[in-house]
Copies of this chain bind each other. A is one copy, B any other.
């Protein structure tokens, strides 16, 4: 019988975290342990590593996924283990899972099979408390903002124009749209409000892009939370609470160190979703890994059109470093889906569908190459893949003249990714000519059009009246020169999740823009993308249990 991820994880023997830290050149004095197998590294540790050379950066991204995901984290972890097996000092930099999907549809998010980060239960649950700190910091701003209005409103805030929402790290559709402050004058000011999921919050983005406590505080102060009656933006700095909010985040900001099943050191830190936020782990973790290792393998959430684009056009500007090579993860199953096969047919061989669905992978390869970056495709093998399917996909990739590798990291750990690792090392040795998709100085609509037409393959962009007014307003406020963070479905290049493959000629509708001045980008909401997911009819939570000794079951 095939073991589940949690069974494999629980059967693994972990090294104490001081030993893992030593591998990364970090002494026991420079970590703060959270139990025996998790630690935060101190700012001292980060400072001490700065004398090292900067290593090479591998970005792992993917085609548009199926609802179950294509194993991007799994390939990221397996590739890191494989590079270490080949004798390259390697670190992995991943995002922290959100409890919402863990309790909802997805189960865990710490890799799978023999390519996992451990302790997987802790990582998937409260871990070191970072997401809770972010939730609390976000909601403390809300409480202090509403209290300001309630206590006399010296800043003249228009309660109808509060744009700062509360958050929970759960899938809770009931809180998407609420009216708060009801019942009595002592209960605050009645107004419309709503909750996002924590990983969609600007605090999460700020947290992931901050380079120090001081930088975090500066970013927090810039966050726009509301407008006055005369439409002047009101910031966290205007409320004079950036100090308190930074206090709530100062420990969370230290990167979390854990290990893979094979003992490769991994930072798991920061976890914005890529469909509604920028989708990459923290800049502090990535820059620290680059100093601690010769190779750093990191992932960007969902497909290369979402997390990948945002990694390249948003995160690299803060990182001061662009990838040396990019892995695009694809699966035969997902390509068949892009070729028109329904869910219940994905286990059956279907060469024609695979060949049709290849269009999706093909466009992602072109996109990444358009940035001037070398690409290696990782075919993440599933037991249902047939030899004929693998051959057909190999022929297509060979014809396209792109490097590729069949990986079996779920089943074999690093040993299943050695060929991929070798091809990646070769790819990083190529001369690079990186260039951004758009200039920051372009107008907001131009930047959005660049993403839509050059990355998504759409033909045009439409803006709602609200979005048009916002663009004019943002220009007046001097916010035009920021990168764009698209909020879009992960399932399609378009804003319609049912348009699979490589659709063309579609229009993307921009419903609304949200200024995220702390993060330093403008979010563009497309179609009906939601910033608070719901739970399915049978949530994963129904299967979870724990015995009297604390052993968990039912966490995938």
Contacts and interface: CB of A to CB of B under 8 A. Distances in A.
Interface of A: 32-36, 40, 43, 99, 103, 122, 125-126, 129, 132-133, 135-136, 139-140, 142-144, 146-147, 150-152, 166, 168-184, 186-189, 193, 212-214, 217, 240-241, 243-244, 246-248, 250-251, 534-537, 539, 541-550, 552, 554-555
A341 to B, nearest CB: 28
Nearest to A549: B43
A177 B170 contact: no
A14 to B, nearest CB: 13
Given A213-B546, A544-B243, A174 B187 contact: yes
A40 B235 CA distance: 39
Nearest to A151: B537
A170 B140 contact: yes
A150 B125 CA distance: 25
Contacts of A541: 140, 144, 241, 244
Contacts of A151: 535-537
Copies assembled? 2
A240 B542 contact: yes
A491 B349 CA distance: 75
A142 to B, nearest CB: 7
B136 A132 contact: yes
A246 B147 CA distance: 34
A535 B143 CA distance: 8
Given A132-B126, A151-B537, A187-B177, A139 B546 contact: no
Given A151-B536, A243-B554, 10 more contacts: A32-B35, A103-B144, A125-B251, A147-B173, A174-B180, A177-B183, A178-B180, A178-B193, A244-B541, A247-B546
B173 A150 contact: yes
Given A99-B136, A549-B43, A143 B170 contact: yes
Given A139-B168, A535-B143, A537-B152, A181 B186 contact: no
A478 B546 CA distance: 30
B174 A146 contact: yes
Nearest to A555: B247
A170 B247 contact: no
B129 A126 contact: yes
B176 A187 contact: yes
5 contacts: A139-B172, A147-B174, A151-B535, A178-B181, A247-B544
Given A133-B126, A143-B535, A247-B555, A213 B548 contact: yes
A248 to B, nearest CB: 7
A26 B174 CA distance: 45
B247 A125 contact: yes
Contacts of A217: 546
Contacts of A193: 174, 178
Nearest to A173: B188
B175 A180 contact: yes
A175 to B, nearest CB: 6
A212 B548 contact: yes
Contacts of A171: 143
Contacts of A183: 176-177
